[in-house]
């Protein structure tokens, strides 16, 4: 088969979707497919060919500036221009492909690709990641009329695609509730972007967390991620609890600095670092004693934190601050029943109790 696969940022640039895409593209090529993977690069435009097994992978990178996240109008202009460049560059390959797979990163590609489906011979697959524009609608709060109209058009595009791939059961329920035929919705979980083997070592433990069990938050901190409940519970853990857990914040994103400041302003132990390259991710996750995942209730079904797959694969304990309606809770309870702790948004006492339990487990060598 010939597959055209379109995403946003490809390694070595940071981006979970691109990491998963590159791994999957290589697997498809190893099984005999010809794969053309299109994405973005902050360094230079390039074309790279990999001969893998019986197949062939061509990685097309388009030079792009960073997303202007602080200005909605500039962000919209960037998205439209970037999407148009990706589709125009990939279109010659798309017309002869047996399968066209595009993702929701960058958002709104469906508005360019689905109208072209009559020109394409292959099956068109839309893989949802973060669900847009619903995520944007949550961010802006009061939704203007133009955004409601755009949302209605987006729902129509989802109903027109050949296959709509979702990352979780919560997303499946949302897509069907929005009118997508159940037989067109296919569950396809991401899995871990890294493999765990004897080569996965550990990084140096931060001196600021000496003597403490390390709880690692690694990845982006954005509008969808719950901060306040965790910070309040973390403070209770150190003020009235065992105080045996320290936070390692290995993060970037809109609210990463705020997360750090909220912890430091309370005099709580923290180590802050920037996100590591994919080659070091296994060692980073392996260094921690437990992992932190958070999600606001309004984003259940709209955002499936991809980090949970690597956290689960690490075999370490997991603290999730969020709703049990999310697939985070579903998978963690199923795959990590003896080392999983969950607290609802707003339940800082539950967070403190979970941190106390984590502290005991680490000290007892569980």
3-class SS of residue 95: coil
Query: Quick check: 139 pLDDT over 90?
Result: no
Same-domain check for residues 32 and 67: yes
Domain annotation covers residue 301? yes
Identify the weakest region by mean pLDDT among 9-18, 134-143, 189-198, 349-358. 189-198
Domain annotation covers residue 253? yes
Query: Quick check: 198 pLDDT over 80?
Result: no
Same-domain check for residues 150 and 223: no
- Give the C-alpha separation, 121 to 117, whole Å: 8
Domain annotation covers residue 196? no
171 versus 198: which is more confidently predicted?
A: 171
3-class SS of residue 170: helix
Q: What is the pLDDT of residues 37-64, one digit of tens each?
A: 999 999 999 999 999 999 999 999 999 9
Give me the pLDDT at residue 224, please. Answer: 95
Q: What is the pLDDT of residues 22-38, one digit of tens each?
A: 989 999 999 999 999 99
Last residue of a domain, one of 187, 222, 256: 187
3-class SS of residue 200: coil
Domain annotation covers residue 197? no
Same-domain check for residues 152 and 18: yes
Strand 46-52 and strand 55-63: the pairing is antiparallel
Domain annotation covers residue 201? no
Last residue of a domain, one of 154, 187, 220: 187
196 versus 289: which is more confidently predicted?
A: 289
147 versus 196: which is more confidently predicted?
A: 147
For the domain that residue 139 is a member of, what is the CATH number?
Answer: 3.40.50.2000
Last residue of a domain, one of 126, 152, 187: 187
Query: Quick check: 194 pLDDT over 80?
Result: no
Same-domain check for residues 213 and 182: no
C-alpha distances in Å from residue 39, one per residue of 5, 45, 132, 267:
9, 10, 19, 42
CA 351 to chain centre: 23
Torsion sign (Cα): 207, 209, 212, 217: negative
Query: Which region holds residue 169: left if phi is over 0, alpha if psi is between -120 and 50, else beta?
Result: alpha
C-alpha distances in Å from residue 31, one per residue of 18, 163, 165, 189, 197:
20, 22, 21, 20, 23
3-40 in b/e burial notation, b at 16+ Cβ within 10 A? bbbbbbbbbebbbbbbbbbbbbbbebbeeebbbbbbbb
Query: Quick check: 2 pLDDT over 70?
Result: yes
* 21-24 contacts, C-beta under 8 A, 24 or more apart: 21/103, 22/59, 23/193
Q: What is the pLDDT of residues 215-260, one digit of tens each?
A: 999 988 999 999 999 999 999 999 999 999 999 999 988 899 999 9
Give me the pLDDT at residue 366, please. Answer: 57
The DSSP call for residue 184 is G
Residue 41 near residue 62 (C-beta atoms within 8 A): yes
- Give the C-alpha separation, 254 to 259, whole Å: 10
Residue numbers of the domain that contains 242: 207-363
Task: Provide the domain count of the chain.
Answer: 2
3-class SS of residue 52: strand
- Give the C-alpha separation, 350 to 364, whole Å: 21
Same-domain check for residues 220 and 314: yes
Same-domain check for residues 227 and 329: yes
Give me the pLDDT at residue 200, please. Answer: 83
Confidence of residue 348 (pLDDT cuts 50, 70, 90): very high
Give me the pLDDT at residue 57, please. Answer: 98
Percent of the chain with pLDDT over 70: 99
Same-domain check for residues 156 and 8: yes
DSSP string for residues in 27-39: HHHHTT-EEEEEE
3-class SS of residue 226: coil
Same-domain check for residues 151 and 286: no
Give me the pLDDT at residue 37, please. Answer: 98
Same-domain check for residues 170 and 301: no
Domain annotation covers residue 195? no
Confidence of residue 364 (pLDDT cuts 50, 70, 90): confident
Residue 213 near residue 319 (C-beta atoms within 8 A): no
- The pLDDT of 5-34, averaged and rounded, is 92
Total residue count of the chain as it appears in this document: 366
Q: What is the pLDDT of residues 96-131, one digit of tens each?
A: 999 999 999 999 999 999 999 888 989 999 999 889
- Give the C-alpha separation, 185 to 176, whole Å: 8
Torsion sign (Cα): 165, 171, 174, 176: positive
Domain annotation covers residue 212? yes
Same-domain check for residues 153 and 258: no
Same-domain check for residues 249 and 147: no
Q: What is the pLDDT of residues 292-346, one digit of tens each?
A: 999 999 999 999 888 899 999 999 999 999 999 999 999 999 999 899 999 999 9
Terminal CA-CA length for the chain: 47
Domain annotation covers residue 193? no
Confidence of residue 15 (pLDDT cuts 50, 70, 90): confident
Mean pLDDT of the chain: 93
Same-domain check for residues 94 and 219: no
Query: Quick check: 158 pLDDT over 70?
Result: yes
Confidence of residue 204 (pLDDT cuts 50, 70, 90): very high
Beta bridge partners of 342: 320
3-class SS of residue 328: helix
Cβ neighbours around 200 below 10 Å, total: 15
């Amino acid at each position: 088969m010939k597959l055209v696969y379109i995403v946003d940022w490809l390694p070595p640039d940071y981006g979970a979707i691109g990491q998963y895409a590159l791994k999957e593209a290589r697997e498809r090529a190893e099984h005999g497919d010809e794969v053309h993977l299109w994405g973005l690069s902050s360094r230079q435009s390039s074309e790279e060919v990999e001969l893998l097994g019986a197949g062939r992978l061509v990685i097309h990178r388009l030079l792009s500036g960073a997303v202007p996240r602080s200005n909605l109008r500039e962000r919209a202009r960037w998205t439209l221009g970037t999407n148009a460049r990706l589709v125009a560059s990939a279109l010659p390959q798309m017309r002869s492909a047996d399968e066209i797979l595009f993702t929701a990163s960058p958002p709104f590609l469906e508005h360019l690709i689905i109208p072209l489906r009559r020109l394409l011979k292959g099956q068109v697959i839309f893989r949802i990641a973060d669900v847009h524009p619903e995520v944007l609608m949550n961010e802006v709060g009061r939704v203007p009329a133009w955004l409601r109209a755009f949302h209605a058009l987006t729902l129509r595009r989802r109903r027109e695609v050949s296959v709509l791939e979702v990352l979780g059961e919560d997303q499946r329920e949302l897509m069907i509730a929005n009118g997508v035929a159940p037989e067109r919705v296919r569950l396809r979980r991401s899995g871990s972007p890294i493999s765990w083997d004897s080569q996965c070592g550990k990084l140096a433990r931060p001196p600021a967390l000496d003597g403490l069990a390390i709880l690692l938050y690694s990845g982006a901190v954005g509008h969808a991620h719950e901060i306040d409940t965790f910070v309040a519970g973390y403070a209770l853990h150190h003020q009235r609890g065992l105080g045996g857990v320290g936070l390692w914040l290995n993060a970037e994103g809109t609210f990463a600095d705020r997360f750090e400041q909220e912890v430091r302003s309370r005099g709580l132990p923290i180590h802050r670092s920037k996100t590591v390259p994919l080659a070091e991710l296994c060692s980073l996750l392996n260094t921690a004693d437990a992992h932190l995942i958070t999600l606001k209730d309004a984003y259940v079904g709209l955002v499936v934190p991809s980090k949970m797959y690597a956290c689960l694969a690490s075999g370490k304990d997991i603290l999730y601050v969020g709703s049990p309606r999310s697939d985070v809770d579903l998978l963690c309870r199923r795959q990590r029943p003896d080392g999983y702790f969950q607290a609802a948004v707003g339940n800082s006492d539950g967070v403190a109790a979970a941190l106390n339990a984590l502290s005991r487990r680490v000290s007892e060598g569980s």
